[in-house]
Amino acid sequence: MTGIPGAVLLVLLGYLIGAIPFGLLIGRLAGGVDLREQGSGRTGATNALRTVGTAAAVVVFALDAAKGVTAVLLVDWLYQGGPPGSPPWVAAGVAIAAIGGHIRSVFIGFRGGRGVATFAGAMLASAPLVVAIVVPVVTVIVWRTRYVSLGSLAGSLLAPVTAAVLVAFGQATPATVALGLGGAALVSVAHADNIARLRAGTERRIGQ
């Protein structure tokens, strides 16, 4: 795949990979449960945790993160040519498409998860140091507040900021910042209902 046509094809492929509803599949295999009809109605790891247990949630998170990793690696594997410096930007576009696919999956009526794991996987493949910095912060926030949504939102918003700082030290690329901004925007929109409940004080904590 080369040039703009190849990039467009890869973006479409990234969306389709992101749209694979692993959470729905694991929910049915682990407990005969349709996650769309339980809890938050989302197909991500948090709803899997509340609905079918820790082991299933870990599997869902890993598979959803793998979608983000795969989206980035697709460019290394398949994008053979383009303008100088374009592969990282193509990879960012493909990864953002995968996050969008996870949130709005064409395979399940444009429903899905909130995009956090897929975003994390894409950042891990693009700039591992960003993930290494952000994950401890997210862990502390979730541990202290017991709000998974708050930790997810904080981590998503911190990712592009961290990437921008790392660009100044030559440890990330501007394309990674673009991925961070696009991913953070999608994840934030997907958390609109959580944000409303956090502001109202009605958001569920872990264990509730």
pLDDT per residue as tens digits for the range 113-153: 999 999 999 999 999 999 999 999 999 999 999 999 999 99
Torsion of CA 18, 20, 24, 28, to 10 degrees: -150
Q: How far apart are CA 135 and CA 140, in angstroms?
A: 9
pLDDT per residue as tens digits for the range 156-173: 999 999 999 999 999 999
Nearest to 105 by CA among 190, 3, 192: 190
Half-sphere exposure of 180 (CA within 13 A, CB side): 28
Q: What are 167-175's contacts with CB under 8 Å, separation 24+?
A: 171/127, 171/129, 172/126, 172/127, 172/129, 172/130, 173/88, 173/127, 175/88, 175/89, 175/91, 175/92, 175/126
Tell how far CA 208 is from the center of its chain.
24
Low-confidence ranges of the chain (pLDDT < 70): 82, 84-85, 208
